[in-house]
Amino acid sequence: MGRAVPPLALVQQVLEGRLTAVARMITHAESGEEACHEALAEIYRHTGKAHVVGITGVPGSGKSALVTRLCKALRAGGRSVGVIAVDPSSPFSGGSILGDRIRMNELVTDPGVFIRSMATRGALGGLARASLSGVDILDAAGYDVVLIETVGVGQDEIDVVQAVHTTLVVSAPGLGDDIQAIKAGVLEIADIHVVGKCDRSDAHRTVTDLKNMLAMGHRNSQGYGWQVPLIPTSSVSGEGIPELLTAIDGHLEALTSSGELEQRRRRIAQTRLLKSAENILRDQFQRHHDRQISELTDRMMSGRTHPHAAAQTLLNQFRSERKP
């Protein structure tokens, strides 16, 4: 059997939280195959219960180690947790973080934790679609909290991390100035700032630098009365993890009591609608309009048309062909 099970036949088992069905469903979603859309639509109807938390930050800032810590803390509090890691270097599949192989294995054998890594390859926009479908699947499967880890570089990753309820931006000492500069772009999407690796002696400087950057005009309070906190943590000692969990829960509480949660849900739904429309169009163009695209590109190269005008021509051709 295995891959032979059609996606729609897996839905009921996904809703019951059966691990193999969840894993297979995510594989179907990753492939983007036509056959999975109906199943994903059915699953989508059962979403909306999980608290979806995005964890972003530059490569090597300690996101995966932090996710591991958060999983343990959530489990200790009796909550189940699903993780989607959009993770180029993928330490989750290696199973060893901080040389902490045994403790990681504890999580791997705990049915209350589901961890899935996705590689950053495939079609443009495909990764964002697959990882958000992954979040839907874990939500519908009944995980109380869904964590999604992405590197905060690139539009796809930003799209993903904006489709969550609570965004953590992780900074850490010892990553160099160029890295700090890249980071500036994601600072303002934070609902919670985390300074990781605070067991290191140079961590206090990162905290000071970040406080200065935030004071220089980055948003630190949000319209619905949430003050963006800055929380130092260490995945080595576990310092700051309880405070972080309290902040994550506090943010959901602030979203809920202010009515902001509904607005975020709506914004996420709308973004996903527009992204999907964009993907469908791009896909159809590439599949059926290769020749026109190539001709119009030639005309642009020889200065006979302009990108905007060429796009209009392409869309007009597309529309006229679709008329009954």
Ligand X SMILES: Nc1nc2c(ncn2[C@@H]2O[C@H](COP(=O)(O)OP(=O)(O)OP(=O)(O)O)[C@@H](O)[C@H]2O)c(=O)[nH]1
Other Cβ atoms less than 10 A from the Cβ of 267: the count is 12
Contacts to ligand X from residues 115-174, by CB under 6 A: 151
Contacts to Mg ion from residues 81-140, by CB under 5 A: 87
Binding at 235: pick from ligand X, Mg ion, none (beta carbon under 5-8 Å per type) = ligand X
Least distance (Å) between residue 194 CB and ligand X: 10
The CA-based angle 260-141-49, given to 5 degrees, is 20
Among 64, 80, 117, 131, binds ligand X (CB under 6 A): 64
Least distance (Å) between residue 192 CB and Mg ion: 18
Among 235, 245, 254, 272, binds ligand X (CB under 6 A): 235
Using rule CB under 6 A, residue 87 touches ligand X: yes
Q: Distance between CA 287 and CA 221 in Å, rounded?
A: 46
- Comparison of 7 and 152: residue with beta carbon closer to ligand X: 152
Using rule CB under 6 A, residue 97 touches ligand X: yes
Among 15, 52, 65, 161, binds ligand X (CB under 6 A): 65
Q: What is the 3-state secondary structure (H, E, C) of 81-147?
A: EEEEEECCCCHHHHCCCCCCHHHHHHHHCCCCEEEEEECCCCCCCHHHHHHHHHHHHHHHCCCCEEE
Q: Distance between CA 120 and CA 38 in Å, rounded?
A: 25
Least distance (Å) between residue 69 CB and ligand X: 8
- Comparison of 17 and 134: residue with beta carbon closer to Mg ion: 134
Binding at 97: pick from Mg ion, ligand X, none (beta carbon under 5-8 Å per type) = ligand X
Inter-residue contact 166 to 190 (CB < 8 Å): no
Binding at 194: pick from Mg ion, ligand X, none (beta carbon under 5-8 Å per type) = none
Question: Which region among 116-124, 213-221, 234-242, 292-300 touches ligand X (by CB under 6 A)?
Answer: 234-242
SS3 187: helix
Q: Distance between CA 122 and CA 118 in Å, rounded?
A: 11
3-state helix, strand, coil in the chain (%, to 5): 55, 15, 30
Using rule CB under 6 A, residue 98 touches ligand X: yes
Among 61, 64, 133, 150, binds Mg ion (CB under 5 A): 64
As given in the structure block, the two tokens for residue 299 are: 């005309």
As given in the structure block, the two tokens for residue 140 are: 């519908």
Q: Distance between CA 27 and CA 125 in Å, rounded?
A: 17
> How many residues interact with Mg ion (rule CB under 5 A)?
3
Using rule CB under 5 A, residue 157 touches Mg ion: no
Using rule CB under 5 A, residue 61 touches Mg ion: no
Q: Distance between CA 234 and CA 65 in Å, rounded?
A: 9
**Dihedral (C-alpha) 128, 130, 136, 139: value to the nearest 10 degrees?**
-100
* Contacts of 43 by beta carbon, 8 Å cutoff, 6+ apart: 11, 14, 15, 25, 136, 137, 140
Least distance (Å) between residue 62 CB and ligand X: 3
Least distance (Å) between residue 300 CB and Mg ion: 40
Least distance (Å) between residue 87 CB and Mg ion: 5
> How many residues interact with ligand X (rule CB under 6 A)?
21
Question: Which region among 14-22, 60-68, 115-123, 224-232 touches ligand X (by CB under 6 A)?
Answer: 60-68
Interacting residue ranges for ligand X, rule: CB under 6 A: 57, 59-65, 87, 89, 91, 97-98, 151, 196-197, 199-200, 234-236
Interacting residue ranges for Mg ion, rule: CB under 5 A: 63-64, 87
